[in-house]
Amino acid sequence: MPERIANGSSPSVAAPMMANGSPTERRPARKSSSKVPSVSTLGKARLVAFANLASIMGSAAVHTGKIVTWEEVTASDFKFCPNVDDLTSDSPAPVQADAQGRYSVPVPGTWTEI
């Protein structure tokens, strides 16, 4: 049974107040007690680059139908668009549709990527 106040109404739940009485006071961030080290911006960029390379590695494995190693991916000079540096907004698209308006797709075992 809910508790009743003298006037017969139920007590309201008050929002927790901060030390200065304001419900929006900012407190300084706590130091983490976990043993996980902080990662620098350069370290994060490196992790993102590795994640991207792993994604490329997975795509290459699916496209070629073969197991692809980290060494093969890092040593590869494959480019989906060999003239990407020369493209401008007026350049034709690097991939063109065939006469039926379809684009080629990778076929495992016949596609060369790495």
- Average pLDDT, rounded, for the chain: 77
Give domain status of residue 46, yes or no.
yes
Give domain status of residue 62, yes or no.
yes
Give domain status of residue 55, yes or no.
yes
Q: Over 90: is that where the pLDDT of 42 sits?
A: no
**Residue 109 zone, left/alpha/beta (φ > 0; ψ -120 to 50; rest):** left
CA-closest candidate to residue 16, choices 28, 5, 24? 24
Q: State how many domains the chain has.
A: 1
Which residue in the block uniquely carries the two structure tokens 């699916």?
Answer: 62
Q: Over 70: is that where the pLDDT of 16 sits?
A: no
Give domain status of residue 61, yes or no.
yes
Give domain status of residue 12, yes or no.
no
Q: Over 60: is that where the pLDDT of 11 sits?
A: no
List the domain range (segments joined by +) for residue 46.
Answer: 41-80
Q: What is the mean pLDDT of residues 30-48?
A: 74
Give domain status of residue 71, yes or no.
yes
Counting other chains too, the contacts that 85-91 makes at CB distance below 8 Å and 24 or more residues apart are none
Q: What is the mean pLDDT of residues 87-99?
A: 90
